[in-house]
Structure 1
Amino acid sequence: MTDEGQTDSQGKGVRSLSSAIKVLKMLDLVANNPEPSRFTDLQKQSGLLRSTVFQQLRTLVEAGYLDLRDDGRYQLSLRCVALSAMAMRQMDLTDRIEPLLDRLARRTHLTASLTMIRSGRPTIVQRVEAESLIVARQTLGADMSLLLSASGRVHISFQDPKALEAIAEGPGLDPALVAEIRERKIAYTPSGLGVTASATPVFDGGGRCFAALSIVGVEEVDIRAHDADLLEFGAAINAALRPASAG
């Protein structure tokens, strides 16, 4: 038996609500800004009509996902914090990913990390340090540059380039570089930073990039020699996060 409007238990043949998707994109814009968002900034970032932006923001406020501050700016509500915590528990993220990070660090002798976008910047949410005399140390919870870190470049290339580049420091990534990163599924740090790193996207069950897996070492390391390892463990993490019903 199926619910009214569904053709089967998977919902095949049922179209998504385009209006809901547009509202959720506005929520993403607010979430990706490092500070509470001004109406004018959101209108500029989205490229939508003023009336449309107002309607979407009002919908999100009334639904409890955004708070409208006294100064007129919009920010994520505590409901979003609760949803984030519940998502982490349901995905069992730590238990499923940490063993893979540990294996990647042991194989490459490099520090392996997982980053997510928080307050508009890539933030380290999990990491395993390499067992080596010389390591590039990364602090759990540390923020990184969107444009200069390998993880940041992955987030820009695979998440929402327009939204993320709007809050990035500088003019944004070269479109040719974004295309190359999307094709190779690997991004690298530029030279001269004292460390070297590469990163690959991590996708949720719906096929959306929500995190980046990276390896980092001192600048003398030939990071590209570990491309195959990074892609292998990126695929393993994606498989570990895939819902059982999708297998």
Structure 2
Amino acid sequence: MPVRALSSTLKTLAVCDVIAASPKPMRLPDVVRATGDQRAAVYQRLRTLVDAGLLDQTADGAFRLALRFQFYAVRALEQANLGDRSSELLQEIVSESGETATISVLDGYHAVIINRVESRQVLRADLRVGARMALGGSASGSVLVAYGSPEMRARLREQGIVLSDDAHLAEVRERGFAIFAPTDPQLVSAVAAPVLDAAGQCVAVIAISGPTTRFDHDRCGPIAVAAARRFSAQFGHA
């Protein structure tokens, strides 16, 4: 007999999602409006999460995510081992494309690089592990947004995060990869493709970057897509 999930637990944890979607701590009335539940029930869930160490309550009574989530995020990346697992693949991309290859994941309101292999060329993209890229101003960010849910995009826009318009994001999904092609020749150009899990969710982004003066989007785009598909297979994506 299948075991049912505890609906009360799911509703309590859903409060974390609501607060995580806010750029600042939320007061009780704000959480009540966001969840649509009764005030007493929402307050009980908030207090439960505070006692569990998942939320902090500020001096003025607002609620925010506890730093324990930072620990969880770091451990999740370590356990997924995306960095080490991607090194060989990134090296293959560099050998084929001649440009720098990176893998990034979503971290709050940015795409953050968790592994890279540099191009062997003297003139190359200088992208560091830990570098954060805007969701609306980078190829990797565009992929994370394009393959995210409509609800995620709506929440980000409500919070003032600048994203590409829906028409552009639809083009990214149809093409299978995003393109960043700045007009300034001193900037870095890039293409990026999604790494998908068994459920079709985007868990990471493979990107190829190089100096705009020589970068070939038409050649590098298919290389990124093929590499991302190979990596997706490791996560059960058909």
| Fold shared per TM-score above 0.5 | yes
Identity %: 29
- Is residue 2:234 matched to residue 1:240? yes
1:147, 1:168 within 8 Å by CA — same for their partners in 2? no
Q: Give 5+ residue unaligned stretches, structure 2.
A: none
Q: Write the letter of the residue equivalent to 1:149.
A: S
Corresponding residue of 2:182: 191
1:148, 1:190 within 8 Å by CA — same for their partners in 2? no
Would the alpha carbon gap of residues 203 and 41 (structure 1) be closer, same or farther in structure 2, given more than 3 Å must change? farther
Matched position secondary structure for 2:74: helix
Would the alpha carbon gap of residues 64 and 199 (structure 1) be closer, same or farther in structure 2, given more than 3 Å must change? same
Corresponding residue of 1:163: 155
What's the Cα RMSD here? 3.3
**Alpha-carbon displacement from aligned partner over 1:134-166 (angstroms, at most 9, x marks no partner):** 101112111112111011111111122223333
Would the alpha carbon gap of residues 69 and 149 (structure 1) be closer, same or farther in structure 2, given more than 3 Å must change? same
Would the alpha carbon gap of residues 169 and 97 (structure 1) be closer, same or farther in structure 2, given more than 3 Å must change? same
Instruction: Indicate which of 116, 122, 131 corresponds to 1:127.
Output: 116
Distance 2:61 2:26 in 1: 7
Q: Which moved more, 1:58-67 or 1:19-28?
A: 19-28
- Is residue 2:30 matched to residue 1:37? no
Instruction: Indicate which of 48, 55, 66 corresponds to 1:77.
Output: 66
**Alpha-carbon displacement from aligned partner over 1:78-102 (angstroms, at most 9, x marks no partner):** 3323322332333222221111111
Normalising by structure 1, we get a TM-score of 0.76
Distance 2:111 2:79 in 1: 22
Corresponding residue of 1:101: 90
- Is residue 2:211 matched to residue 1:218? yes
**Alpha-carbon displacement from aligned partner over 1:82-137 (angstroms, at most 9, x marks no partner):** 32233233322222111111111221111111122223111111111111121011
- Is residue 2:205 matched to residue 1:229? no
Distance 2:135 2:158 in 1: 11
Distance 2:161 2:227 in 1: 30
Would the alpha carbon gap of residues 204 and 218 (structure 1) be closer, same or farther in structure 2, given more than 3 Å must change? same
How many residue pairs match? The answer is: 230
Normalising by structure 2, we get a TM-score of 0.78
Distance 2:218 2:159 in 1: 29
Corresponding residue of 1:5: 2
**Alpha-carbon displacement from aligned partner over 1:200-247 (angstroms, at most 9, x marks no partner):** 1122454321322111111121222212111111011112233xxx88
Would the alpha carbon gap of residues 73 and 132 (structure 1) be closer, same or farther in structure 2, given more than 3 Å must change? farther
Distance 2:83 2:68 in 1: 22
Would the alpha carbon gap of residues 126 and 152 (structure 1) be closer, same or farther in structure 2, given more than 3 Å must change? same
